[in-house]
């Protein structure tokens, strides 16, 4: 069996999920049993036979050019022990698991292969299972090491968060996340877990990105959140702290899975996190030649705090 660390969780699979091996483990604090990723064809008996006729369905918006469907045997709500789940990626792969258990099974479809299965497991399915089962909150955010702790970059799609993160990587900063950041509460802090060792400064369907050698070695409390604002190419770079409801306006739309039954929990959780983690707005020129200036401004701001 091969071992890979994803989102602070140990994952065991028959083959390595990625071509580039990452040394060591980035375990999240607390009790996090390992996930077993198994091929369903290898099952003996009828452990998952009841997953064939699941009727409750949630359709995702088109993702990486594929239609996704999530199924269970009851209306979507908190996952209960023994509750069957299935997620179908159109034409590629189906994933199966049961609530409260730590094994996940996959079935390849006509257009599926190991690499595509690994992409969808890493990119969508494991984050979904951790959200439903273990209380993780996933944010659309890039995150890099800044002074020994993760700093998050938030921006609309195409808003430059991956581009800025790429510049930080070029300067030797470790990567926490390219696009999907696992966050959780532990003791009195709000933590970020390293995602997977890839960075994708471009957007191409069903591609994890370029392998990253300098990958964050462990989970850490979040240092700060920087919301990026594109300004005129000749504009000055300014950084202002956000307060009150403005922080909610920036963070609430950035959740990866916006299930209705999670909203009440997330409002409470987000309010507590934003009381503990500072949030800033970075007004920076929308011009690649001035990317270094933005980098230096963010580093100087973090050092001065």
179 and 225 within one domain: yes
Instruction: Please report which helix (H) or strand (E) contains residue 145, including its range.
Output: strand 142-145
Q: Answer yes or no: do 150 and 273 share one domain.
A: yes
Mark whether 112 and 244 lie in a shared domain. no
Domain count, the chain: 2
Instruction: Please report how many Cα atoms fall inside a 13 Å half-sphere around the Cα of residue 155, on the Cβ side.
Output: 22
* Residues 128 and 51 reside in one and the same domain: yes
- pLDDT for 32: 81
| Beta carbons within 8 Å of 55's beta carbon, 6+ residues apart | 71, 73
> Which stretch of DSSP H or E encloses residue 50?
none
* 149 and 98 co-located in one domain: no
DSSP per-residue letters across 86-129: EEEETTTEEEEEETT--EEEEEE-TT--HHHHHHHIIIIIHHHH
Q: Which residue, of 82, 115, 134, is where some domain finishes? A: 134
Asked whether the beta carbons of 119 and 207 are under 8 A apart, the reply is yes
- pLDDT attached to residue 45: 43
Nearest residue to 131 via CA among 84, 58, 89, 77: 77
**Last residue of one domain, picked from the residues 134, 158, 174:** 134
Six-digit token pair at 140? 């659309």
Nearest to 152 by CA among 223, 212, 249: 223
Query: What is residue 25's predicted lDDT score, i.e. its pLDDT?
Result: 61
Q: What is the pLDDT of residue 202?
A: 75
pLDDT at 49 over 50: no
Question: Given pLDDT bands bounded at 50, 70 and 90, which one contains residue 142?
Answer: very high
239-252 tens-digit pLDDT? 999 998 899 889 88
Pair 127, 163 in one domain: no
Which has the minimum average pLDDT: 50-54, 100-104, 145-149, 155-159?
50-54
The secondary structure of residue 255, as a DSSP letter, is B
pLDDT at 21: 63
Q: How confident is the model at residue 257 (pLDDT cuts 50, 70, 90)?
A: confident
Are 197 and 246 part of one and the same domain? yes
The range of the structural domain enclosing residue 67 comes to 2-134
3-state class of 286 per DSSP?
Answer: coil
- pLDDT tens, residue by residue, 155-198: 987 888 989 999 999 999 999 999 899 998 888 899 999 999 99
- On the question of pLDDT at 42 being above 80, the answer is no
Are 89 and 120 within one domain?
Answer: yes
Interatomic CA distance for residues 250 and 154, integer angstroms: 8
Work out the average pLDDT over 137-164.
Answer: 92
Summarize the chain as % helix, strand, coil (round to 5). Answer: 25, 30, 40
Per-chain mean pLDDT for the chain: 88
pLDDT, position 201: 75
- Of the candidates 176, 128, 154, 289, the one whose C-alpha atom is nearest the C-alpha of residue 226 is 154
Residues 156 and 295 in one domain: yes
Q: Is 110 left (phi over 0), alpha (psi -120 to 50) or beta?
A: alpha
**Nearest Cα to 36, choosing from 16, 14, 11?**
11
Asked if residue 122 has pLDDT above 90, the reply is yes
Same domain, 110 and 227: no
Digit-coded pLDDT (tens) for 123-139: 999 999 999 888 889 99
pLDDT one-digit tens code per residue, 269-287 = 888 899 999 999 999 999 9
Cα 208–209–210 angle (5° rounding)?
Answer: 140
> What are the helix (H) ranges across 103-197?
114-120, 126-134, 161-170
Give the pLDDT of residue 1.
82
Could you tell me the pTM of the whole model?
0.91
Domain-ending residue, one of 134, 154, 189? 134
Which pLDDT does position 46 carry in this prediction?
A: 44
Give yes or no for a contact between 74 and 59, defined as CB atoms under 8 angstroms apart.
Answer: no
Question: Which residues contact residue 275 at a Cβ distance below 8 angstroms, ignoring those fewer than 6 apart?
Answer: none
- 44 — pLDDT class (breaks 50, 70, 90): very low
User: Are 74 and 198 in a shared domain?
Assistant: no
Better-predicted residue by pLDDT, 61 or 93: 93
Mean pLDDT confidence for 254-281 = 88
Taking only the tens place, the pLDDT of each residue in 66-106 is: 999 999 988 877 788 899 999 999 999 999 999 999 999 99
State the Cα–Cα distance between residues 226 and 15, nearest whole angstrom.
37
Per-residue pLDDT at 24: 54
Q: What 3-state class would DSSP assign to 84? A: strand
What is the token pair recorded at 293? 């200036």
pLDDT confidence bin for 53, thresholds 50/70/90: low
Q: When comparing pLDDT for 52 and 86, which is higher?
A: 86
164: nearest Cα among 288, 302, 303: 288
Strand partners, 121: none
Beta bridge partners of residue 138, listed in sequence order: 182
Domain identity same for 94 and 231 = no
> How far apart, in whole angstroms, are the C-alpha atoms of residue 14 and residue 16?
7
């Amino acid at each position: 069996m091969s071992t890979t660390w994803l989102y602070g969780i140990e994952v065991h699979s028959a083959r390595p999920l990625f071509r580039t091996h990452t040394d060591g483990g980035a375990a999240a604090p607390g009790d996090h049993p390992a996930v077993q990723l198994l091929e369903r064809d290898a099952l003996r008996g009828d452990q998952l036979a009841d997953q064939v006729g699941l009727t409750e369905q949630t359709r995702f918006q088109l993702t990486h050019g594929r239609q996704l469907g999530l199924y269970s045997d009851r209306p979507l709500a908190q996952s209960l022990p023994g509750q069957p789940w299935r997620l179908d990626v159109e034409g590629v792969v189906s994933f199966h698991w049961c609530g409260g258990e730590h094994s996940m099974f996959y079935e390849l479809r006509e257009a599926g292969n190991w690499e595509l299965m690994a992409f969808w497991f890493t990119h969508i399915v494991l984050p979904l299972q951790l959200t439903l089962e273990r209380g993780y909150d996933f944010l659309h955010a890039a995150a890099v090491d800044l002074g020994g702790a993760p700093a998050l970059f938030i921006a609309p799609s195409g808003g430059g968060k991956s581009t800025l993160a790429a510049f930080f990587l070029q300067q030797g900063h470790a990567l926490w996340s390219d696009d999907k950041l696992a966050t959780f509460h532990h003791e009195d802090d709000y933590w970020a877990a390293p995602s997977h060792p890839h960075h994708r400064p471009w957007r191409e369907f069903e591609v994890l990105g370029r392998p990253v050698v300098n990958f964050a070695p462990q989970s850490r409390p979040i240092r700060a959140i920087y919301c990026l604002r594109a300004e005129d190419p000749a504009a000055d770079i300014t950084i202002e702290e956000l307060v009150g409801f403005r922080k909610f306006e920036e963070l609430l739309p950035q959740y990866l899975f916006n299930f209705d039954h999670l909203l009440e929990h997330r409002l409470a959780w987000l309010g507590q996190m934003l009381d503990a983690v500072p949030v800033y707005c970075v007004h920076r020129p929308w011009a690649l030649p001035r990317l270094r200036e933005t980098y230096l401004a963010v580093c100087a701001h973090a050092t001065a705090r």
